[in-house]
Structures are given as structure tokens and as C-alpha cells.
Amino acid sequence: MIRILIVDDEPLARRFIRRMLAREGDVEVVGECGDGRAAVAAVRELSPDLVFLDVQMPEMDGFAALEELGPEGRPLVVFTTAYEQYAVRAFEAHALDYLLKPFDEARFARSMAHARERLRGRGGEDERGQVDALLDHVRRRPAHLERLMVRAGARIVFLKVDAIDWIEADDKYVHLHAGPVSHMVRQTISSMEEQLDPEQFLRIHRSAVVNVARIRELRPLFSGEYGVILEGGTELTLSRNYKDRLFRLLGRPL
């Protein structure tokens, strides 16, 4: 039997993978985790043969979890990711298997077939070397995002970060507003903010991050808040909790 651990911060995603695995006759799901720290502990305790590992998770992401486990402590991994503008290219460059969400039954079945082949061959040093190379690649990525890979219907398009006017929070998703077009990406606004240049993108509200180059004017409102008018006419709210950050970056009104 193939002992499998499922790691994803989305309960629905974990449930979907478990449902797919229920159709496989030679697997046993030994556990589930919702974050990287729990995944590290579970791998050490349960010794799974295979882990379905989400890349983007709170506190400790999938890459950090693999770093923590070290080369000798890592099981075979199939990465899962919903958006990953950077990681998908890294997986492909290092011949590592990944599932780009939303994936279907046929794609999952191919991934399991590939995993069986690798487990039978027990790639060992080759597998560890590929993961080590991936982690080194990830460590050397640019300090801040320069472009994103986003879905546009059946296509995947590249969006330059400079083209984004503002970012809107929607639970565990964000809407990237770029001119007349908006792209929905599975990522929290806090996670997205961390990956952007703080000299270019600024949180102005708990649910909004703005490209400061797009700000046209500020209009005083009540209780210390401001209306933020963007070049295209969009009006957002600058919360008093974030006001000082903007003034430190752009200067206070004369």
C-alpha cells in the first residue's frame, strides 16, 4: 500500500484529493494537514510514502516545509498549486510533478501513475537532488514579483505587476484590477502584499492594496479617513489605520 499524506489549507481541496484517492486500490490516506508546520510534524510521525503538498499555505508554505524536513526526511512529493506564477516554471525545470488547480480526474490519475513509477524505482538520490535544486531555485527568485501567471478563461496569461491598479480582497482570493480587466487569483491579500514591492504597492485598507503610481488625489472624509481616487476614476477608502504608511511613503500634504 502507498501511504499518503494530504497537505492543503483548503478543506475542500483536501476532500477532493481524498475522493480521488478513494478510487485507487493500493493507497492508504494516513493523515491530512492544513499548514506547513503541521505537515512537517506529520511527515516525521507518520512516514508517508507520498505527500500531496500545497505550495501556498499560511505561516509555513510548502517550500519552507520541505526545507525544514531536509533531504533525508522528505517523502515523494506531488505539488499542488492554484496560481503559482513562479513555482510552475520551477517544477517543470526540475522535472517534478505538480497539479495545477483546478485539476480533473484524468490529470490526477496521470499524477498517481507517475508517482507509482517513481516509488517502484525509488528514485532516491535523483529525487532528492531534483527537490534540492528546486529549493535552491526558489531561494534565488526575485525579492518581489515582477509578473504573474493568471487564468483568463481557458487561457493562462502573463500579467506584469506594473499593470495592476489595485488589488481587492475576497476571502482567500484576490481580484487584480488592471485597467478594464480583473483577474481572480487564489491567494489572500496579505500573502499577495508580502510578495509585492512595498515602495510600489501599499495596503490602504484591510481589503485593498493600491499601486501608488495610480493615485491621482486624496479627498478627506470623516474620522480621519480619506477617499483615494485612482487615475481611472476608481475611488477607494484610505483607512486611518493605514494613513501613516501612505504619508511616510509619499509625504504629508503641504
Nearest in space to 40 (alpha carbons), one of 18, 61, 9, 10? 61
User: What is the spatial order of strands in the sheet that 215-220 belongs to?
Assistant: 215-220, 226-230, 235-238
Domain end, chosen from 113, 139, 165, is at 139
* Helix or strand (DSSP H, E) at 183: strand 181-185
d(CA 184, CA 174): 6
Domain end, chosen from 87, 109, 139, is at 139
Please report, for residues 85, 91, 106, 107, the alpha-carbon distance to residue 157 in angstroms, rounded to integers and kept in the order given: 10, 18, 24, 21
Biggest CA pair distance of the chain: 71
Whether 10 and 123 map to the same domain: the answer is yes
Which CATH number do you get for residue 120? 3.40.50.2300
- Quote the number of domains for the chain: 2
Domain end, chosen from 119, 139, 159, is at 139
Model confidence, pTM: 0.61
Whether 14 and 83 map to the same domain: the answer is yes
Host domain of residue 234: 147-250
Nearby residues of 35 by Cβ (< 8 Å), 6 or more positions away: 9, 57, 58, 59, 60
Whether 178 and 235 map to the same domain: the answer is yes
Q: What does the angle CA 205 – CA 211 – CA 215 come to, to the nearest 5 degrees?
A: 85
Whether 119 and 193 map to the same domain: the answer is no
d(CA 33, CA 9): 7
Whether 155 and 67 map to the same domain: the answer is no
pLDDT digits (tens), the chain, 254 positions = 999 999 998 899 999 999 999 998 899 999 999 999 999 999 999 999 999 999 888 778 888 898 888 888 888 889 888 755 556 666 765 657 888 888 889 999 999 998 898 888 755 556 667 777 777 766 666 667 788 878 777 788 888 999 999 999 998 889 999 999 999 988 888 888 888 888 899 999 999 999 999 999 999 988 889 999 999 899 999 998 888 888 888 777 65
d(CA 181, CA 195): 21
Whether 29 and 108 map to the same domain: the answer is yes
